[in-house]
Structure 1
Amino acid sequence: MGFNCGIVGLPNVGKSTLFNALTETAQAEAANYPFCTIEPNTGRVAVPDERLEAIAAIQKPQQVIPTFLEFVDIAGLVRGASKGEGLGNQFLANIREVDAIVHVLRCFEGEVTHVDGSVDPVRDAETVETELMLADLESLERQHTAAVKKARGGDKEAKEKLAVMEPVMKALEEGRPASSVTVTPEQRPLLRQLNLLTAKPILYAANVEEENAASGNAHSARVEEMAKAKGAACVVISAAIEAEVAALDDPEEKEMFLSELGLEETGLARVIRAGYGLLDLITFFTSGPKEVRAWTVHKGATAPQAAGVIHSDFERGFIRAETIAYEDFIACKGEQGAKDAGKLRMEGKTYVCRDGDIFHFRFNV
């Protein structure tokens, strides 16, 4: 089960630098000109979770395996992308494939040329989002004609599709994203099928200078205000700092470097966690002498669905899930202590997973 976030933004806002730091590679060339990243680059990153280390400290397994999130660095977009300007068509095709969007906004001055000649993150956000809305509207207009014909012929599915499409089209025409339209739980699958760019959850990453990494600046404050008004998430980072931290091998050296800048953790850790939250994901764990491992599942998943993340046979032949809450595992110093204290529960097929559950699945195929 793969979950990915597309890193987007105008050229020269620092998104490739951020991607390089995220994946600790130089896959994406960071250069002072537009369109330097032509093919989307993909990197898997471990999701920071102190609980995994705490479980491992008690279990003392042979190996510890975190859960991962995928980040995709997508070519810089410019005004007119929805009409094919720059690498517009390629950008839009690549971004349709991701589950959520990390929108990097330039909140730093400097010598690197801004594609629009000045630094204004709110304007930049509007530029990108307008292009995404125009692309969505064009896509829906094409689908709408065919759906109307089918609906007139009595096609029930087409009628249901139109009931979702038409309010979304109206919102887009008014300059509002698809995510602003309220749909019923029954309509959500139909909305997903439309594969709209502006229906994807969004995280704004305000990229500031090194000296403003801890407190932000006037530009990032505007981004935070905009994000709050839109009900979106926002993280302040300094891609330049993240690149420096990524180049350090010694964990103590990294910690000292961050401490000198007044930072408790990297901005990347916050981006990864925010991206994880953006996708409405939770973590469950498995623990044994061979390995302690974190796994990812959508919030609301049942125990058999969680078992299926490990192996499809586990879901197919699911019998029960021996379950310990993370807090109980730690307080009781492991599985045996939790059993002795009556904290190990037997959960069945209807059990809805909770973040931090430690499972041992019983199955029969």
Structure 2
Amino acid sequence: MLKVGIVGLPNVGKSSLFNALTAAGAPSENYPFCTVDPNVGTVEVPDPRLQRIHELTGSKTIVPTVMQFVDIAGLVKGASEGEGLGNQFLANIREVDAIAHVLRCFDDSDITHVLGDVDPVRDRDVVETELALSDLDMVERRLDRVGKKAKSGEKEAIAEQAVLRKVFDALSEGIAVRTLEFTPEERKILKTFQLLTAKPVLYVANVAESDLPEGDNQQVRALRAAIEAEDAGEVVVICSAIESELAELEPEEKAEFLADMGLTEPGLDRLIHAAYHLLGLLTFFTTGERESRAWTARRGSTAPEAAGVIHSDFQRGFIRAETVAYDTFQEVGSWKEARDKGLLRSEGKEYVVQDADIMLFRFNV
């Protein structure tokens, strides 16, 4: 299961956001390092298409696809040198697939800011500097270890040393590893390092209720400008206080609350979808009498690779995949109609799965 780590300075709204995402009740008191051990929660990926497929086929159950979110304790300046239990928290980040970096973009005298005032651009720099320093320290130590083997002519060590030097030079210049170009062979080596700055990042601007529905204020604009100038990623604006309230409501109450706020969907839905997109994922579906189910695959996956998401036997014995696009399925209303009208495709091993494909795998083991 893919994991997204929620990181940021203390008291920026990480745990409140995590609570809203997972309804897990993690502590969110107003003092630094309230979270010590990371909280982990599984979150359904919202997708109305799955509900519609369920309605059309009359399946007994519905099973959404999911992601894991990890609430990691607040980092502080000096974390890479152990400040604020920094080494422990940085180690937790190494275990996730992507980072959701929460940045406080609201003023509130009742909520302490660890650096004294609210400045999301500075806060982003503080956290990312600590991640880079931690990576730099690890790369230096690994270079020392691999150097002797490389001198002896060991091919694997020579290849690793070349990647490490490339990374070291970039980090020394303040360049995040995720922005570098690597060959497929280099990427295999890079993956073993679990570098923090190699992970994709989504920036989450936490605003006040008064900034909704536009979610725009001076701090958000400054943050967007800084990130756009570096082509550093996407900003998702949420209000963790509002999301916490929404998480406790029933669906009908939630819809009414959103309408009153002038919002069309919860900020958490946008966040989950943005994280899904950041990781290069797509959703395909299976449906039948027993269940309608959403599955996660990486963009560019072939039909056998998608089958392997369900079970390794499906991939090993793959024969073909009967496939219909969601929009087509919704128009005709059933597998039978899709087949009768010649809209059901038989795809082979080379087929690249598309988002919202509805698939029935044929295999033989």
The TM-score with structure 1 as length reference comes to 0.97
Q: CA deviation at 1:195?
A: 1.0
Counterpart of 1:244, as a letter, is E
* CA contact 1:75–1:87 (8 Å) conserved in 2: no
- C-alpha displacement at 1:252, in angstroms? 1.5
Distance 1:273 1:181 in 2: 25
- Tell me which residue corresponds to 1:241: 242
| Aligned position for 2:137 | 138
Of 258-267 and 10-19, more deviation after overlay is shown by 258-267
Q: CA deviation at 1:47?
A: 0.4
SS at match of 2:83: coil
The answer to which of 50-59 and 93-102 deviates more is 50-59
Q: Identify the residue that residue 118 of structure 1 maps to in structure 2.
A: 117
Other-structure match for 2:265: 265
Partner residue, 2:233: 232
Q: Equivalent residue for 2:66?
A: 68
Match of 1:79 in 2: 77
Corresponding letter in the other structure for 2:49: R
List per-residue Cα deviations over 1:214-242 (Å, max 9, x = no partner). 21211111222223233311100000000
Deviation string, structure 1 residues 318-363 (Cα, Å, up to 9, x no partner): 1111111112111222211111221111112222211111111111
1:86 is paired with a residue whose SS is helix
Moved more, 298-307 or 181-190: 181-190
Q: Check conservation: 1:284, 1:294, Cα contact below 8 A.
A: yes
Question: C-alpha distance in 1, partners of 2:150/2:106?
Answer: 51
Deviations 1:222-274 (A, max 9, x none): 222223233311100000000010111x2111111111111100000001001
Supply the AA of the counterpart residue of 1:20.
Answer: N
Q: How does 1:353-364 map to 2 (within 5 A)?
A: 353-364=353-364
Give CA-to-partner distance per residue, 1:71-121, whole Å, 9 cap, x none: 000011111000011120111110000000000000010010000000000
Give the partner amino acid of 1:232.
G
- In the alignment, the residues of structure 1 paired with residue 232 and residue 322 of structure 2 have an alpha-carbon distance, to the nearest angstrom, of 38
Inter-partner Cα distance in structure 1 for 2:128 and 2:159:
27
Moved over 4 A (4+): none
Name the structure 1 match of 2:343: 343
Match of 2:321, SS state, is: strand
Counterpart check, 1:160 vs 2:134: no
Aligned residue for 1:187, secondary structure, equals helix
Secondary structure of the equivalent of 2:185? coil
Q: Which position in structure 2 is the counterpart of 1:173? A: 172
Q: What's the secondary structure of 2:307's corresponding residue?
A: helix
Q: CA deviation at 1:294?
A: 0.2
Report the counterpart of residue 315 of structure 2 in structure 1.
315
Superposition map of 1:47-66 within 5 A: 47-66=45-64
Segments of 5+ residues of structure 1 without an aligned counterpart are none
How far apart in 1 are the matches of 2:159 and 2:213?
49
Aligned to 1:299: 299
Q: What is the number of residues matched between the two proteins?
A: 362
1:195 to 2:198 alignment: no
Distance (whole Å) between structure 2 residues aligned to residue 189 and residue 231 of structure 1: 23
Structure 2 CA distance for aligned equivalents of residues 241 and 75 of structure 1: 22
Determine the C-alpha separation between the residues in 2 that align with 1:107 and 1:20: 19
Partner residue in 1 for 2:98: 100
Distance 1:177 1:57 in 2: 46
Question: 1:204 touches 1:223 (CA, 8 Å); kept in 2?
Answer: no
Determine if contact 1:167/1:181 at 8 Å carries over to the other structure: no
Distance 1:217 1:60 in 2: 46
Q: Secondary structure at the match of 1:87?
A: helix
| Aligned AA (1:240) | A
Question: Which whole-Å CA distance do the structure 2 matches of 1:264 and 1:186 have between them?
Answer: 44
Q: Structure 2 CA distance, aligned partners of 1:194 and 1:353?
A: 30
* 37-46 or 310-319: bigger deviation: 310-319
In structure 2, distance between residues paired with 1:186 and 1:338: 43
Amino acid at match of 1:171: A
How far apart are 1:162 and its partner, in Å?
2.1
- C-alpha deviation, 1:15, in angstroms: 0.5
Whether contact under 8 Å (1:107, 1:119) holds in the other structure is yes
**Partner residue of 2:10?**
11
| 5+ residue gaps, structure 2 | none
The answer for the alignment partner of 1:40 in structure 2 is: 38
Which residue matches 1:220? 220
Aligned counterparts of 1:16 and 1:91: Cα–Cα separation in 2? 14
- Aligned-residue offset at 1:164: 1.6
Q: TM-score under structure 2 normalisation?
A: 0.97
